[in-house]
Structure 1
Amino acid sequence: MSRFRPKSEIRKLVIHCADTPNGRPHTAADIDRWHGENNPPFVRRAPSGGSTVFGHIGYHWVIRLSGASEVGRGIEETGAHAGPRHNADSLAVCLVGRDKFTRAQWDTLRHLVTGLRKQFPHLEVTGHRDLPGVPPRTCPGFSVADWLANSMQPLPEHLLEESP
């Protein structure tokens, strides 16, 4: 698979979570480092020790607790986040946390999805756990379909309470 693809091939946005303890302030650099440590399922090198499977973080964006969005890959760069079947035609965003996210993260996710839908009018927005042919997962730790049906507003049971 080519490392790059034309924007015209992008069909979906896959929402992920970092599967880190809720409320812990991690960054795209942290996630990139974890993936680079060759811990399954994020093995960067072929089992034979041969060529690199992917050279850096597989997500296009990471949304930190503060709501800051960090770029991991360019839009035209093929992702490495959901297996070849889905990476080829998708973009990926990863929320730091497991199943509870700050209001700032929810707001940034809503703005990102809104902007991407303008750029890609037929964009399907889905959760990693909802992709066909992907092993069962809980990522992200909320139902993307419920979030979309809730006008992309924070799902109360998945809102991280912030300290006063």
Structure 2
Amino acid sequence: MRNINYLVVHCTATQPNTKISSIQNYWRNELKWKSPGYHYIIEANGNVVNLLPIDKVSNGVAGHNSEIINISYVGGIDFKGNPKDTRTEAQKEALLILLKQLKKQFPSAKIQGHRDFKGVKKACPSFDAKAEYQNIV
């Protein structure tokens, strides 16, 4: 198993109704990634989709992926393309449950947002994940 130091929260930076297949096509065809950007992605209805086994490396945060489990919710921008926390209540609940499960499995892993890594110039996940999930133990 990989040494997991971070559980990283992302947004897809798409509209909340974007299909996961469209996101996957973008990774494959535009970015030329062989692996997905996230291990888990959460749809607006709260459905959690596992895109990659956690023992594999995904493409969430350049330079850190070997030590990360990447989790994203579909959404994260408004209709003008500006960062906005668009999480539905179902997404918030599913994300919290998933983070609690992963934190039990990786108790020393820090929970934070993509934007919390040094040098990252993104608003992702469009809310303060570090503060919101600081009490998960």
With the length of structure 2 as denominator, give the TM-score of the two structures.
0.86
Structure 2 partner of 1:60: 39
The structure with the largest alpha-carbon Rg is: 1
Structure 2 unpaired stretches of 5+? 77-84
Cα RMSD after superposing both structures: 1.5
- Residue identity matched to 1:71: N
> For residues 42-121 of structure 1, what are the structure 2 equivalents within 5 Å?
43-44=31-32, 54-83=33-62, 85-98=63-76, 99-121=85-107
Between Structure 1 and Structure 2, how many residues are aligned?
A: 128
> For residues 140-151 of structure 1, what are the structure 2 equivalents within 5 Å?
140-149=125-134
Secondary structure at the residue paired with 1:29?
helix
The 4+ residue runs of structure 1 with deviation greater than 3 A are none
Secondary structure at the residue paired with 2:93?
helix
Structure 2 partner of 1:127: 113
Structure 1 unpaired stretches of 5+? 1-5, 45-53, 153-164
Give the share of equivalent positions with the same residue, in percent.
29
Contact 2:35 2:57 (8 Å CA) reproduced:
no
Secondary structure at the residue paired with 1:108?
helix
Structure 1 partner of 2:28: 36
- For residues 20-74 of structure 1, give each alpha carbon's deviation from its aligned partner in whole angstroms, at most 9, with x where no partner exists: 12xx323332211122231xxxx21xxxxxxxxx313220000000000011111
Distance 1:122 1:17 in 2: 23
With the length of structure 1 as denominator, give the TM-score of the two structures.
0.73
Structure 1 partner of 2:4: 10
